[in-house]
Structure 1
Amino acid sequence: MFNTLSIKRIFSLLFAALCVFFVERGVAFAQLDHVAKIQAQTHELHLAIPEPDTPISNSYAYMRRESFVRNAQPNTQQIPFNTYPAAPKVGKSSYIISLNSPVHDSSAGIPYEKPAYDYERFAGSMGLSTATQNKWSNKKGWLNQTLYSLDKFFNQPVPEQWSGGTLYELFPPGENPGEWTIEPYFIATVPNGQFDNLGRRVPDDPPGYSFAQQWYLQYAVTKRLSVYANPGYSYSWGGGDRSGSVEAQDLPFDLFYRMTPDHSYPLVTAYLGGQAPTGPYDNLQNSNNGTGTGAWSFNFGVSAMASFPFFGHALITDLWAQANQTTGDVRVKGMSTYGTDQDFNGWAIPSQFGSAGAGFEFGVTKKFMLDLELIGYWNAPVNMKGWEAGQWQEYQESDWTDVFDVGPGMEYSFNEHFSLVAEVIIPLAGVNTTASLSPSAAIVCSY
């Protein structure tokens, strides 16, 4: 039997249970409402500047600043607890802009302007490809970051530069069919001693002087193939003999062929040609009239040219080497450039000669450049055989000769077609050769 006390206890328990139920439901409602309000607050991403990897217009500096997130004012509109925002779409973020992209994402508030130059276009094949950028972006650590910085530094676009080239490097072919280059050279020789067979500098007694004028002539047959000839003449005096006369020199000629594709670096060129014996070499009445070798020679060589950005300036480099092989013995009579006298009658047996070097051009301004050439010349021994003073003789007329020259200089370009270049060739070391200084200058005309 239920008494009054038992009924009161039952109602008290039911009331307590209902209170607990409604309290917990109210807490849940409050939490859901709070979540809905937070989700209703919008967030806008604003980039302070374009991507850090995007070059700034008219500059080669890369600026890096942190992006920031700005919270909009909370939305006070009440959203029912059972209403949820749409799920975000999975895919590429609209805030990621590729290098030099012309896209303007106004909805994201990104002011983006295309630089004045196109990085990929003007950097050519030297520009960082997408694959290269992705490769570096996935690598961490200070070493990889250092390598990436170096890679990016050396692959910046090279500033526009007018260049006439150094004086003694091997030149590349013309860029367009029908393009031609005429370059008159002026070369003087000032005695400064000589190097003996031990490499010691000794006096040049008596000293000799000379002046030469050459014409560098080049014509582009195709985009890859050019032809070249270099006629010249010289005048010599001193050296223990009377002054000579103006005489023609031997005639070098070449075919140039560019081996690498267009717009690729380095620009590799192969050379194939020779040298014609057009200068007087024997039966001389004056030793200062000798300018030639009397031998046909076969010439071959190779060069590699590239340009780099160097602290915001253009640096043009050219590495080259060439060799000449004579085709046979040379008939010699009387006084000759091989050191024979009036009684000699026989043959000279020349062999090989060649050179190798590097040329550097640094653009101070678009028109003015500082040059530096490092050149090594070598000649193999020359043997002689023949009759002299009624006796048959065979002997070695000269030993191996080597010389290392350095050539500082400068050049100024009035426009893309006309330049002036000047250098001074200074022998630093050598064996069995002259140590004469050679001031040189040239006028470069290309059309």
Structure 2
Amino acid sequence: MFSPSPAETKAGALAVEPYLQGAVPSGRFDAQGEIRPVTAQRSVSQYTLIKYGLTDRLSIYSLPTFSYGWGKGQSSTGVKFNDLPIELHYNILTARPARYRPSVTAYLGFIAPTRNYSGLSQSQNGVGQGVWFLRFGFQSQSVYRLMGHAARLRIWAVGRRPLTTAHLHDITSYGTSTGFSGTAHPGTFGNEGASFEYGLTKRWVMSLDLYGTWVGSTELTGKYRKTSQLVHTRSSWSGSYNLGPAMEYNWSPAMGFIGGVIVPFTGHNASRAIMPEVAVNMVF
């Protein structure tokens, strides 16, 4: 569910995969990795993976995302459009299953900011960071025969590095309140992991993702206009490790359904939420 996929192997191929993901807060990992109670809204996100093969090796990818939050004594956020990622995926090495040779795909792109980060009516409306990010990374996958069934292994590592600085005023997604004026420089963030898929039958597939996420320090600088209170803070690094078991059913080689849940099992300085997820995969 979470692992990135390789570039399309045929020019003109179009992959569309709409997801629906919930998030049920279940505490927060403190600096020592202990789970502490926290008050946070529930949320649901709808995002659609879109990938188009420009050539037999090069694809363009995007992931438009909408989110909605509610509950915990706070007003709902309304439907918000999140920051928009766009990438190029290039197959450096094409897989050859008969020889057990893996494919290797390189990623390079950016995240475009939206306006949902500053000048907000309430802090929970902030779903963006107001910064352009460089996206980069790689993915490799291999296909094997295991006990007479098809098995696929994926490994990946990706990063997102900020290229600009966010200019803030009043209530923002960085935790400031009315009267604030300043800037924020978010930290580099990313994830890495492995996923394993095992074909139980020609239609049913069992999968498991195991991955870690990490976020670097965010620097916040500015002041509150009325009080002239100066602000200069730097957050701590954070991270978590997650399990994502899922089951997939394929109606045909070009269409399938997947459902599962992502569960953070350890971490530090990071929120913890159970995330059920369903998606439909279509290739044209």
Q: TM-score, normalised by structure 1?
A: 0.61
Letter in 1 for 2:34: R
What are the equivalent positions in structure 2 for 1:35-434 lying under 5 Å apart?
A: 167-204=1-38, 206-261=39-94, 263=96, 265-278=101-114, 280-388=116-224, 389-396=227-234, 398-434=235-271
Aligned partner of residue 190 in structure 1, secondary structure: strand
Aligned partner of residue 414 in structure 1, secondary structure: strand
**Partner Cα separation in structure 1 for residue 36 and residue 85 of structure 2:** 32
Aligned partner of residue 281 in structure 2, secondary structure: strand
Render the CA deviation track for 1:408-443: whole Å, top value 9, x for unaligned.
Answer: 111000001110011200000011111110001111
**Partner Cα separation in structure 2 for residue 344 and residue 383 of structure 1:** 15
> Using a 3 Å threshold, how does the CA distance of structure 1 residues 181 and 387 change in structure 2: closer, same or farther?
same
Render the CA deviation track for 1:17-62: whole Å, top value 9, x for unaligned.
Answer: xxxxxxxxxxxxxxxxxxxxxxxxxxxxxxxxxxxxxxxxxxxxxx
**Partner Cα separation in structure 1 for residue 220 and residue 73 of structure 2:** 24
Partners of 1:290 and 1:337 within 8 A in 2: yes
> Using a 3 Å threshold, how does the CA distance of structure 1 residues 208 and 380 change in structure 2: closer, same or farther?
same
Any gaps of 5 or more consecutive residues in structure 2? none
**Partner Cα separation in structure 2 for residue 335 and residue 269 of structure 1:** 40
Partners of 2:264 and 2:273 within 8 A in 1: yes
In the TM superposition, what is the alpha-carbon distance from 1:239 to its structure 2 partner? 4.5
Render the CA deviation track for 1:108-152: whole Å, top value 9, x for unaligned.
Answer: xxxxxxxxxxxxxxxxxxxxxxxxxxxxxxxxxxxxxxxxxxxxx
> Using a 3 Å threshold, how does the CA distance of structure 1 residues 259 and 237 change in structure 2: closer, same or farther?
same
> Using a 3 Å threshold, how does the CA distance of structure 1 residues 309 and 232 change in structure 2: closer, same or farther?
same
In the TM superposition, what is the alpha-carbon distance from 1:392 to its structure 2 partner? 2.4
Aligned partner of residue 124 in structure 2, secondary structure: helix
**Partner Cα separation in structure 2 for residue 401 and residue 262 of structure 1:** 35
**Partner Cα separation in structure 2 for residue 295 and residue 238 of structure 1:** 28
In the TM superposition, what is the alpha-carbon distance from 1:261 to its structure 2 partner? 4.2
Q: Higher relative contact order by CA 8 Å / sep ≥ 6: 1 or 2?
A: 2
Aligned partner of residue 288 in structure 1, secondary structure: helix
Render the CA deviation track for 1:342-378: whole Å, top value 9, x for unaligned.
Answer: 1210000112000001111110001100110011100
Indicate the residue corresponding to 1:95 in structure 2.
none
Letter in 2 for 1:325: R
Aligned partner of residue 223 in structure 1, secondary structure: coil
Partners of 1:210 and 1:234 within 8 A in 2: yes
**Partner Cα separation in structure 2 for residue 322 and residue 347 of structure 1:** 26
The structure that is helix-richer by fraction is 1
Aligned partner of residue 259 in structure 1, secondary structure: strand
Letter in 1 for 2:43: S
Any gaps of 5 or more consecutive residues in structure 1? 1-166
Letter in 2 for 1:426: V
The structure that is strand-richer by fraction is 2
Partners of 1:372 and 1:406 within 8 A in 2: yes
Aligned partner of residue 445 in structure 1, secondary structure: strand
In the TM superposition, what is the alpha-carbon distance from 1:240 to its structure 2 partner? 4.6
Larger Rg: 1
In the TM superposition, what is the alpha-carbon distance from 1:191 to its structure 2 partner? 1.4
Letter in 2 for 1:296: W
**Partner Cα separation in structure 2 for residue 434 and residue 261 of structure 1:** 38
